[in-house]
Structure 1
Amino acid sequence: MIHHMGGKYHHGDLRDELVRVSVELIAELGMDGFSVSQVAKRANVSPAAPYRHFPDRAALLAAVACTTACGLREQAEAAVAEAGPDPVAQLAAASGAYTAFLINRRIGFQAVFAEGLEDPKYTELHEHRRALIDTYLRLCLAVCPYPPAALELMEQLNAQAHGYGEFFLNGVYRRMNYTAAQVTAKSTTSARIVIDAHVDGQGPAQP
């Protein structure tokens, strides 16, 4: 039986609710504000209840990371589908999609790649991480076939897309009266510039 404090969760529902509340908590307070006790309080259950589904903080955070990785991948793939057949446009759209995701949900790579989740036992998380990385890497390889250059491009685009989102969330862009949509558009345009520079600078095929 789940010990609750006025909540309406059944045993089978609580796991998903704990993940949802964890995402909400991280969005509001950041990774440093995340704790199992705070999650239990917000979910309106006893402090012991989360441990019936997650043995420790890391296990709950791994579930949050899985949910975030899935959401990111879905948003990137949707943006690619809307971008048309041009590989450069697809990659730029996927990069902008990350900025939009971060702004709207206030959670992103900081949760997907959080410290303390390297243990191989988090099989599901590692699979979702790999699928997310592969989504971006395939797009990078489509415009930059030399693998080391494609990896570098992916890193640059991810860092840039995250930076645009953080500037909005931290108030930098909002003080300039930029809307979330405008920042997403700026991120997408900047991604296109970076991609074009990589493509133009490839020269002859690398060994």
Structure 2
Amino acid sequence: MPAKRSYHHGELRAALIQASFDLLAESGLQRFSVAAVARRLAVSTAAPYRHFPDRAHLLGAVSTTAAHDLRAAIAEAAGAAGENPAERLAAVAGAYVRYVTRTGAGFHVIFAAELYQLHDEARREQTSALMTTLIDLATAAGRAYREAVPLVEATIAIGHGYASLYADGFFARKDATVDEIANRAVDAARTLISDWPRPGAPAGRRPA
């Protein structure tokens, strides 16, 4: 059994959050617990409770960091996609795949149901900023707000689906790297966006 480690006050909090990401990436949300994070850091099971009173508060801190970092990854990918608004939005799916396969912290963590009753202003600010960035990308692609929200949901669903299939070992070929899967997600999102009805377009017809 590994020896217990000691951390300075601020270092332990940051280490708990980082270890949480590592655990989520390896084992998923269902196996996430304060005790498992403590074991990963080789600290006593009581040590994390000096910073987080329960699993929800630790997961909330992870959610806050994840929302901030995913937003930054999306902004970077959109910038690299160039000036075309549809390409910038499609890039979201690829950024999502890359981020989630690395950290395990997708929307299922950022917006976990158990966090709904958690009063955390920092988390609220970061999740709101993330959604604002996504909605802005969709509206820039010519969608009104009422169309932008479901389009964002669908784009994220593509990224999440590809990331989940990758994590589950669905892509068995040796050349199915994260980058390749991310590119497939971008291609799928590009098709989705091009087929998504524009305001006033007749139902069932592909927009020009």
The yes-or-no answer on 1:164 pairing with 2:168 is: no
Q: Which secondary structure state, in structure 1, belongs to the residue aligned with residue 7 of structure 2?
A: coil
Of 18-27 and 120-129, deviating more is 120-129
Amino acid at match of 1:168: Y
Q: Which secondary structure state, in structure 2, belongs to the residue aligned with residue 102 of structure 1?
A: helix
2:50 corresponds in structure 1 to 52
Shift of 1:7: 1.6
Shift of 1:175: 4.2
Aligned length: 200
Q: Is the 8 A contact 2:94 2:183 kept in 1?
A: yes
Amino acid at match of 1:107: A
Q: Is the 8 A contact 2:97 2:159 kept in 1?
A: yes
Q: What percent identity do the matched residue pairs reach?
A: 37
Amino acid at match of 2:59: L
C-alpha distance in 1, partners of 2:116/2:40? Answer: 27
Q: Is the 8 A contact 1:146 1:205 kept in 2?
A: no
Amino acid at match of 1:103: T
Q: Which secondary structure state, in structure 2, belongs to the residue aligned with residue 171 of structure 1?
A: coil
2:60 corresponds in structure 1 to 62
1:110 corresponds in structure 2 to 108
Shift of 1:9: 1.4
Shift of 1:204: 3.3
Shift of 1:87: 0.7
Matches for 1:7-22 after TM superposition, within 5 Å? 7-22=5-20
TM-score of the pair, normalised by structure 2: 0.89
1:150 corresponds in structure 2 to 148
TM-score of the pair, normalised by structure 1: 0.90
Q: Is the 8 A contact 1:137 1:150 kept in 2?
A: yes
C-alpha distance in 2, partners of 1:38/1:120? Answer: 21
Q: Is the 8 A contact 1:75 1:97 kept in 2?
A: yes
Give 1:202's match in structure 2, choosing from 191, 198, 204.
198
Matches for 1:44-193 after TM superposition, within 5 Å? 44-119=42-117, 121-175=119-173, 177-193=175-191
Amino acid at match of 1:146: A
C-alpha distance in 2, partners of 1:53/1:44? Answer: 16
Q: Deviations over 1:158-194 (max 9, x none)?
A: 1111101111111111347422111111111111111
C-alpha distance in 2, partners of 1:11/1:126? Answer: 25
The 3 A distance-change label for structure 1 pair 174 and 101 is farther
Shift of 1:203: 5.4
Q: Which secondary structure state, in structure 2, belongs to the residue aligned with residue 174 of structure 1?
A: coil
Shift of 1:145: 2.8
Shift of 1:60: 0.5
Q: Which secondary structure state, in structure 2, belongs to the residue aligned with residue 47 of structure 1?
A: coil
**Structure 2 portions without partners, runs of 5+:** 203-208
CA RMSD of aligned residues (A): 1.8
2:37 corresponds in structure 1 to 39
Q: Is the 8 A contact 2:92 2:156 kept in 1?
A: no
Q: Which secondary structure state, in structure 1, belongs to the residue aligned with residue 45 of structure 2?
A: coil
Q: Which secondary structure state, in structure 2, belongs to the residue aligned with residue 116 of structure 1?
A: helix
C-alpha distance in 1, partners of 2:6/2:14? Answer: 13
Q: Is the 8 A contact 2:57 2:118 kept in 1?
A: no
C-alpha distance in 2, partners of 1:38/1:6? Answer: 14
C-alpha distance in 1, partners of 2:144/2:115? Answer: 30
Amino acid at match of 1:153: L
